[in-house]
Amino acid sequence: MLLAASNVLPDNAGYVAAAYLVFLALLLIYVGIMAYKLINVQRDVAEITELAERRLDTDAADPAGTHDREGTPA
């Protein structure tokens, strides 16, 4: 099939393919970087969830609020 396509395509099709592949590669690199950043966001969300759960546990154990919550984690 590729052989048939290469018989149909003009000689300089490689340059056109290279140009469009460059564009595609740039897009993929960008998406890859954004995916990496998304992993960081997910890690932050997990950290915040953990902090919030600790805060809830502290509140449940000390409903009068006598425990100093500044600088939690308790």
Partner 1 sequence: MSGTRLRALSVATVVTLITGYALAAFVAPMDADQGFIQKIFYLHVPMAIVALCGFIFAGLCAIAHLRTDDAKWDLRAYVAIHISIILGVGVLLTGAIWAKASWGHYWVWDEPTLVSFLIIFLLYATYTPLRFSIEDRDKQARYASVFAITAGAFVPLNFLAVRAATSLVHPRTLSSADNLPGAMRTAFLVCLLGMTLLYVLLWQYEIAHKTTVAQLRALKRRLAGDEGLRPRRSAAPELQVR
Residues 5-64 that bind partner 1 (CB under 8 A): 9-10, 12-13, 15-16, 18-20, 22-23, 26, 30, 34, 37-38, 40-41, 44-45, 47-48, 51-52, 55
Nearest by Cα to 54 from 66, 42, 35, 69: 69
Do 72 and 51 meet the contact criterion of CB atoms below 8 Å apart?
Answer: yes
Q: Compute the distance between CA of residue 60 and CA of residue 70 in angstroms, rounded to an integer.
A: 16
Contact positions toward partner 1, by CB under 8 A?
A: 9-10, 12-13, 15-16, 18-20, 22-23, 26, 30, 34, 37-38, 40-41, 44-45, 47-48, 51-52, 55, 70-73
